[in-house]
Amino acid sequence: MLLDYQIRYGMVSFNTVERECVAAYQREKQNVMKFIEGLPGRVSLTLDTRTSREGLGCYVVITGHFIDGDWKPQQRKLNVAMVPNPDSESALANAVLRCLSDWNLEGKLLSVTLNHPAAGEAALQSLQALLSVQNAVIFDGQLVRGSCISRTLTSIAKELLSACGDLVSKIRDSVKYVLTEESKELMFLDIKQQLQMATDKNLRLADQNHWNTTYEMLLAASELREVFSCLEALDPDYKEAPSMLEWKQVETISSVLQLLVDAANLLSSSSSSSSSTTPAALACFHEAWKIQSQLSRLAAIGDPFIDSFIGGLQDRIEKYIKECILVLAAAVVMDPRFKMKLVEFSFAKMFLHDAPTYIEIVGDGIRQLFWEYKVLHQLDEEKADPKLGINVDIMEPRRYPIKSELDVYLDETLLPRVADFDVLGWWKQNEVRFPALAKMARDVLCIQVSAGSAESLFDTRCLPKEMEYGSSVKPETVEALVCAKDWLRRAAAAAAGGDR
């Protein structure tokens, strides 16, 4: 506020403020650079697109995600790139390439997740080619996620609300009827009081651009259905009360939306908090499986209303699971409570007769990934002590006669399934026992499944959030402001003992 006052009354010029902000950014960048240079593992990037206020292209906010030496999840905004034509084949790849160069991350990139809805196949292939060059030994560039989980959840919600549009509109009209006139609302509240309704829900109109508010509207209306029925009997002007069958259908819609809302909130928390004990990819597997299982149960009921929409929802969640199957399953395997056992069990439920194929894909992928990390670990040991040579057997894992770290880990008894289990804490304690596998776990468990901001989590428009700075601010100054704000906030939180 003091700065605003000084600028407004001419005490400090805009150019002076701009120079000071950029200088502060450069100073803080050195601290972040030292921190990143000391990281023991690889970095996963998320790309969040933001529109410019004047419609002059867009900004790409690039955030790095990693697990530090103390096995704590960390993230830092690294770059904000102005991209005049974000849909071009090489625009996003060039932005990532600049980020890697700026932060000396060449060879340390593991995965890229983006939320740009218009990113075409050519743009994704360009990113995959970049990842393959930057990190050829790890899955040859396969870890590029073009669709983040938040957009998948939103697409499922949109399809559900569109398929049930007439019923949702009827509920909206009833809520609107009550809330648009004070006398109607007072009558509604009076009936609610007389009926001694146990619910604390209150009616509210949904914002049609945010599907979670539609869920809240439907849930509240459903719990107050008796009040609507009494209102119809007492108010001659209210003639469109939903029938008992329609209220039952609203319950079904609400139950599906609740699954999606709960998943979105949990995944947002897992992605944004360094205090979360559940890595994002691990949480995503459980939530995606839960959604798929619930949709399958609904489909088995054989209700005509459910049948009218359930197939499309199942297709969307199953498509996401199949596209991300290796990332999600690898995170589960790295949880000592589940390992391959949960993969085998859940795949049998999800994929039925195709389950063996997908189990084999995951099993082979995990082993391939482990042997790549085994080689990298051996190279690191050789650098530390040149007297050590690479064991030739390591380069030929199929002939390796001794049990590998991975086999030992998988063969050990599963840990009890306790809530709030600290997966990263377990790997920290067992890093000496499984040195190569721990390197793999560190990287796999930092892969992100969502790239969107918390503000856009439930946005049905699937539009990038608008950048808060106008064209009068230079792109390099925008980068300085956005990144420095993130760094200083995290530094202050760390000093106070909170999230970093």
pLDDT at res. 475: 85
pLDDT at res. 116: 59
Is residue 475 within 8 Å of 82, Cβ to Cβ?
yes
pLDDT at res. 405: 95
pTM for the structure as a whole? 0.86
Q: At what angle do helices 280-301 and 310-323 cross, to 10 degrees?
A: 150
- Amino acid 290 reads K
Q: Please report which residue ranges of 420-474 form alpha helices under DSSP H.
A: 423-429, 435-444
> Considering the domain 28-145+468-495 in this protein, what is its CATH number?
3.30.420
Strand partners, 111: 44
pLDDT at res. 8: 52
Strand partners, 76: 64
Reading the block at residue 448, the tokens are 């992100």
pLDDT at res. 2: 41
Reading the block at residue 211, the tokens are 């599907």
pLDDT at res. 188: 93
Extents of the domains making up the chain: 28-145+468-495, 159-257, 264-438
Reading the block at residue 323, the tokens are 């596209």
| Distance between CA atoms of residues 32 and 28, nearest Å | 6
Residue 420 φ then ψ, to 5°: 55, 35
- Amino acid 147 reads S
CA 29, distance to chain mean position in Å, is: 26
Residue 173 φ then ψ, to 5°: -65, -40
Going by C-alpha positions, the residue among 486, 489, 440 that lies closest to residue 63 is: 486
From residue 305, alpha-carbon distances to 25, 64, 451 in Å are 56, 44, 34
From residue 142, alpha-carbon distances to 125, 146, 215, 333 in Å are 10, 11, 36, 19
| Distance between CA atoms of residues 388 and 371, nearest Å | 18
Residue in the block written with tokens 């990037």: 45
Reading the block at residue 297, the tokens are 């149960």
Give per-residue burial for 464-484: e unless 16+ CB within 10 Å, then b.
bbebebeeebebebbbbbbbb
Per-residue confidence in pLDDT tens, the chain, 500 aa: 444 544 554 566 777 878 888 899 999 999 999 999 999 999 999 888 877 666 666 888 999 999 999 999 999 999 998 887 766 777 888 888 899 899 998 888 888 888 755 555 666 677 767 666 666 555 555 566 556 788 899 999 999 999 999 999 999 999 999 999 999 999 999 999 999 888 888 899 999 889 999 999 999 999 999 999 999 999 999 988 999 999 999 999 999 999 999 999 888 877 665 556 788 899 999 999 999 999 999 999 999 999 999 999 999 999 999 988 888 999 999 999 999 999 999 999 999 999 999 999 999 999 999 998 998 878 777 776 665 554 544 445 555 457 899 999 999 999 999 988 999 999 999 999 999 999 999 999 999 888 766 667 787 765 556 566 666 678 888 899 999 999 999 888 877 776 55
